[in-house]
Structure 1
């Protein structure tokens, strides 16, 4: 068991629920530092990453990595995390937690793959990279139970339900679901409406092509149960 897995397990014992993604990020960073006082921690450290759009155009973006851990040998461990919640109002240790309804699971599934891509991209560009992690914690069972591969959802190719093999090849959004009476494919391979406005999947980060370096087996594990609200997590280790 490495330092990150150990930190997650230890965090479970103290914090079964979090107010927000920032709350989770800070708590996890503190736990890593508590267990490994010799490590240095950086939050929201910006890095430059090369991204490729689905029409082949490349762009360099400057974006933060949620947590970067630096060990005593100067090795870097970048961590990307997500906290996706269903609406919940619950009490734990006399502290009230009012969680928002994030919804937009289609975007959430795409973003999970994007986080893996970003850590792999970071790996290729940094000689001091040792190992990276993508971590998602959620009480939204549509992520870990719902197999959207079996449906014709627009995000069907981004499903990362329990037990699935996340294919390294990005099969893109399921554009068979687009209303062809409203959207057509233009000369730049972008779906636009009659006013030449792009479909939301063809805008900004949602238009990135996210081919990965390898396939990843998806496993969800129990994190906590708070007043019948079940939290599960998925951890991807990128060595």
Structure 2
């Protein structure tokens, strides 16, 4: 995600983490965040505690030529005493006991940012950031006991969407109810390492369309350039190359399918919205389909994983677990330069070229190897089989 259409959130947090390991207070964190955004891009104007309607205030409002972003920050600590190894400052962090209240306030921030995004001009987006050294926030509870803040939990991988209610056993406190129109996945990342604890940050981008329109267009262009280069290679080498219906119906994905000597492979790219110049290209092929012995197929996949340095084999079982597909995937995260013939693009061209060739080769060789180990039906170039491969690889 880009702040004010220009500065990636990941760059701000990386810059902060390189200078300081922790902060004295939420206000300290807020000021440091604002100062870092301004230092990374001097064209962005950053304002603190900007008053909104209903006597509300935004922690930060960042606006520049590329757009504007509302930012809400939260800083929640467990007790810690020590010295910041980067600055030499002494810290005595106190323990914030009311984690349930913090969770509610963080979700309330997202709801407020959605209102800002809806009422703001084109190119406006929002960001809610939580920084903490309290592991209970990013770790899922061991026992899923009912608590009044159960729907507001923020652990890794959890999704926040729809109506979130506060209460127990059907008795809910309506003033604490929150309504989210978007769908947000909690993504925790390490910020720094402290003796005995880890301080981590969770960013929940408040957006309904994946960030600003400018950012999405740039990300799609970068992905399209890389996928287009790979397709030009495939069309010169392999029997059949086409765009399957499942990819035409996926707006955030670009790619193609390859059929060569009876083996099916799939190549598709997805934009990395936090960092538009990058893209994720996933290449996949089915080592075998409709293998009835799931346990043996899993053993085979694990053996192959021990033999390969790049890529991953995994088994995807049918709903009734009567059969599975063994899928090999490899991710490539380096985009091409704008001019694919430029000398600086050579290393990336070679990497993509080699990954494509290995994927198509694996489609044949791995099916042959698995067939010798278990009975496996090769996938066919039907839309149903391409969709199966796409679903397996994407998951």
Do they fold alike, i.e. is TM over 0.5? yes
Determine if the alignment matches structure 1 residue 101 to structure 2 residue 95: yes
Contact (CA 8 Å) 1:152, 1:177: kept in 2 or not? no
Q: Tell me the SS of whatever aligns to 2:71.
A: strand
Unaligned runs of 5+ in 2: 212-395
| Larger CA deviation: 220-229 vs 116-125 | 220-229
Q: Distance in 2 between matches of 1:149 and 1:43?
A: 40
* Count, aligned residues: 200
Secondary structure at the counterpart of residue 120 of structure 1: helix
1:229 match = 197
Q: 2:276: which partner in 1?
A: none
Mapped to 1, the partners of 2:178 and 2:163 lie a distance apart of 8
- Structure 2 CA distance for aligned equivalents of residues 80 and 146 of structure 1: 24
Distance 1:67 1:148 in 2: 36
Q: Please name the residue that 2:59 is paired with.
A: 66
Deviation at residue 223 of structure 1 after TM alignment = 0.6
The equivalences for 1:1-239 within 5 A come to 2=2, 3=7, 4-48=9-53, 61-73=54-66, 75-92=67-84, 93-128=87-122, 130-147=124-141, 150-170=144-164, 172-176=165-169, 207-237=175-205, 238=207, 239=211
Larger radius of gyration: 2
SS at match of 1:70: strand
Instruction: Please report how far the alpha carbon of residue 33 of structure 1 lies from its aligned counterpart in structure 2 after TM superposition.
Output: 0.4
8 Å contact from structure 1 (residues 76, 131) kept in 2: yes
Runs of 4+ in 1 over 6 A off after TM superposition: none
Contact 2:163/2:177 (<8 A) preserved: no
CA-to-partner distance for each residue in 1:181-215, whole Å, 9 max, x for gaps?
xxxxxxxxxx8xxxxxxxxx56xxxx143111122
How many angstroms apart in 1 are the aligned matches of 2:143 and 2:116? 29
- Between Structure 1 and Structure 2, the one with more helix by share is 2
Structure showing greater relative contact order (alpha-carbon pairs closer than 8 Å, 6 or more residues apart): 1
> What RMSD, in angstroms, separates the aligned Cα atoms of the two structures?
2.0
In the alignment, the residues of structure 2 paired with residue 41 and residue 128 of structure 1 have an alpha-carbon distance, to the nearest angstrom, of 18
